[in-house]
């Protein structure tokens, strides 16, 4: 059965999709990566501020693009209607093959690892390796089944989980102050001494390549702010609620991320942060202030946070295949809605199924020694996600220049227009382009960047061989 998707996501649920899918693992783990590349506190904090401002500039711009094209598929629809079918297909190819499915797999793995840590700390029970894999697959399958039962159900769950995640980050921000005020003799006294030196003594000695690598790490932490756009067709009053959700959500993220990193540095020095190994910064932070109980609390926070981000990704991801199927660039079966629950069930099963295969493949690769022990699977997959997302999401932001020209007559009547145009989108595009180029120059992310480009090239060949001759009827008239 095929039909239009029902509009059931109100403004609060829409904002929860933005915030809830972004707050996952990055703010709890990536502070260590930033500390390694930016040894001064002020320089490290500037990376988080820059990442937030870039996300804000992107949100200010993409909100207008979404108002002009409030269709299912999000960035796929933006690229398709602005550049042509080829661009939409390549985004769909990369998002399905690398970006979203890897994100779902990584988040599910982290959820199970956090659950395992929590069980070890509370009841001294631990899962063996392949039992963790089974639990990871079960988690993905369960959330997929839940979201198949209705977008409203998934949206409500996302709202509840987002409120918990925001509350958890606020608690982390407030904890050092609470320790100083209410604990007379704390084991570890929060101090601003860890924030020195604040800036490099000589700015000419800053390694800008490493700064760019830190920016890539932060891009993963902010990645997902665009996630409201794939479900644009299911948002009530989209021309007003999508801009509100995007801009309000990103502003909240900036405040939470900067505040959490300031709190981390009051307890853990930059040198100590670099030596944490696989321990999340948030866990080390809570253990130092609250002891073993803090470790259990930190595992619970990370587990719930990752679970919320995982649910949000499973909720929005299949809308891509739904939109591509509607355009004849994916099997028509993926366009069908569940006869009872009115959700793209077939697309959900395919998306989650591919993510589950990636989880199994990654575990086999690790066991066989194909994945280097020098870099965690988490960092490898997140870098793969960032290189693909940076390229095509930047194209989505740049689509505003095309739409302002091809839809000139609509501009005066739009309920929302990008403030600061054209400076805001130009700044976003130029900085993201520089970050992307730095991935090819730097040592640690070059392989992921090259593989990402190779995957795009394969997608281009698939399009040229099977889809190029179909009429380009979706492009906006110019």
pLDDT tens-digit series, residues 118-128: 888 788 777 88
pTM of structure? 0.79
**Do 120 and 329 form a contact (C-beta atoms < 8 A)?**
no
Please give the average per-residue pLDDT across 227-243, as a whole number: 76
With 90 as the cut, is the pLDDT of residue 468 above it?
no
Task: Give the residue carrying structure tokens 């690769």.
Answer: 365
Under the banding of pLDDT at 50, 70 and 90, the label for residue 69 is confident
pLDDT for 65: 92
Nearest to 257 by CA among 282, 277, 276, 274: 282
Fold entry, domain 11-466:
Amino acid/polyamine transporter I (1.20.1740)
With 80 as the cut, is the pLDDT of residue 478 above it?
no
Q: Can you tell me the distance from the alpha carbon of 410 to that of 462, in angstroms, rounded to the nearest whole number?
A: 35
pLDDT for 473: 45
Find the angle CA(67)-CA(73)-CA(77) to the nearest 5 degrees. 60
**Do 25 and 309 form a contact (C-beta atoms < 8 A)?**
yes
Q: Can you tell me the distance from the alpha carbon of 392 to that of 352, in angstroms, rounded to the nearest whole number?
A: 22
Please give the average per-residue pLDDT across 308-324, as a whole number: 80
Show Cβ contacts of residue 383 under 8 Å, excluding neighbours closer than 6 positions: 216, 220, 439, 445, 448, 449
With 90 as the cut, is the pLDDT of residue 421 above it?
yes
pLDDT for 382: 64
Question: pLDDT averaged over the chain?
Answer: 84
Under the banding of pLDDT at 50, 70 and 90, the label for residue 2 is very low
With 70 as the cut, is the pLDDT of residue 138 above it?
yes
Backbone angles phi, psi at 9, to 5 degrees: -95, 110
Please give the average per-residue pLDDT across 331-346, as a whole number: 83
pLDDT for 477: 37
Nearest to 114 by CA among 269, 263, 289, 296: 296
**Whether residue 442 has a cis bond before it, omega within 30° of 0:** no
pLDDT for 380: 63
Please give the average per-residue pLDDT across 62-84, as a whole number: 86
With 80 as the cut, is the pLDDT of residue 72 above it?
no
Backbone angles phi, psi at 10, to 5 degrees: -80, -175
Task: Give the residue carrying structure tokens 């899962």.
Answer: 127
| Number of other CB atoms surrounding residue 347 within 10 Å | 26
pLDDT for 4: 62
Beta bridge partners of 235: 9
Under the banding of pLDDT at 50, 70 and 90, the label for residue 46 is very high
3-class secondary-structure state, position 133: helix
Percent of the chain with pLDDT over 90: 27
**Do 112 and 140 form a contact (C-beta atoms < 8 A)?**
no
Nearest to 351 by CA among 147, 79, 80: 147
- Choose the most confident range, by mean pLDDT, from 285-294, 305-314, 443-452: 285-294
26 or 370, higher pLDDT: 26
With 50 as the cut, is the pLDDT of residue 350 above it?
yes
| Number of other CB atoms surrounding residue 439 within 10 Å | 23
Please give the average per-residue pLDDT across 100-107, as a whole number: 85
Percent of the chain with pLDDT over 70: 90
172-176 contact pairs (CB < 8 A, 24+)? 172/260, 172/263, 172/282, 172/285, 172/286, 172/301, 173/256, 173/259, 173/260, 173/262, 173/263, 175/263, 175/285, 175/286, 175/289, 175/290, 176/263, 176/266, 176/267, 176/289
3 or 275, higher pLDDT: 275
Task: Give the residue carrying structure tokens 């929060």.
Answer: 190
């Amino acid at each position: 059965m095929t039909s239009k998707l029902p509009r059931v996501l109100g403004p609060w649920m829409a904002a929860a999709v933005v915030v809830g899918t972004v707050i996952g693992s990055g703010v709890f783990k990536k502070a260590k990566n930033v500390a390694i590349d930016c040894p001064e506190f002020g320089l490290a904090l500037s990376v988080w501020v820059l990442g937030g401002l870039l996300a804000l500039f992107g949100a200010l711009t993409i909100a207008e693009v979404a108002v002009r094209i409030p269709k299912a598929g999000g960035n796929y629809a933006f690229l398709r209607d602005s550049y042509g079918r080829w661009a939409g297909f390549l985004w769909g190819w990369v998002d399905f093959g690398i970006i979203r499915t890897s994100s779902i797999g990584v988040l599910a793995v982290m959820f199970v690892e956090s659950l395992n840590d929590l069980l070890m700390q509370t009841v001294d029970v631990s899962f063996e390796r392949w039992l963790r894999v089974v639990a990871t697959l079960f988690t993905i399958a369960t959330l997929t089944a839940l979201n198949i039962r209705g977008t409203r159900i998934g949206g409500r769950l996302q709202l509840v989980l987002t409120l918990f995640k925001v509350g958890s980050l606020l608690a982390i921000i407030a904890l050092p102050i609470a320790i100083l005020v209410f604990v007379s003799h704390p084991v570890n006294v929060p101090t601003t001494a860890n924030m020195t030196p604040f800036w490099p003594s000589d700015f000419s000695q800053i390694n800008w390549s490493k700064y760019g690598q830190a920016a890539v790490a932060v891009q993963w932490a902010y990645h997902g702010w665009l996630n409201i756009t794939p479900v644009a067709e299911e948002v009530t009053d989209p021309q007003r609620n999508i801009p509100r959700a995007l801009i309000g959500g990103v502003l909240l993220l900036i405040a939470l991320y900067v505040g959490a990193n300031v709190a981390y540095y009051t307890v853990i020095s930059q040198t100590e942060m670099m030596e944490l190994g696989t321990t999340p910064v948030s866990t080390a932070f809570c253990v130092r202030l609250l002891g073993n109980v803090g470790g259990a609390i930190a595992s619970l926070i990370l587990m719930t946070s990752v679970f919320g981000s995982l649910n949000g990704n499973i909720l929005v991801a299949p809308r891509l295949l739904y939109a591509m199927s509607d355009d004849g660039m994916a099997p028509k079966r993926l366009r069908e809605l569940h006869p009872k629950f009115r959700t793209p069930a077939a697309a959900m099963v395919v998306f989650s199924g591919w993510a589950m295969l990636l989880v199994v493949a990654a575990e086999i690769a690790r066991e066989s020694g194909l994945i280097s022990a020098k870099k965690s699977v988490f960092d490898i997959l997140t870098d793969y996600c960032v290189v693909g997302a940076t390229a095509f999401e930047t194209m989505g932001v740049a689509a505003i220049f095309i739409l302002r020209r091809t839809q000139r007559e609509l501009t005066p009547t739009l309920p929302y227009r990008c403030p600061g145009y054209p400076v805001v989108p130009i700044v976003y595009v130029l900085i993201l382009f520089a970050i992307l180029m730095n991935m090819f120059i730097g040592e640690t992310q070059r392989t992921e960047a090259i593989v990402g480009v190779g995957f795009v090239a394969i997608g281009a060949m698939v399009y040229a061989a099977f889809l190029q001759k179909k009429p380009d009827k979706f492009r906006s008239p110019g």
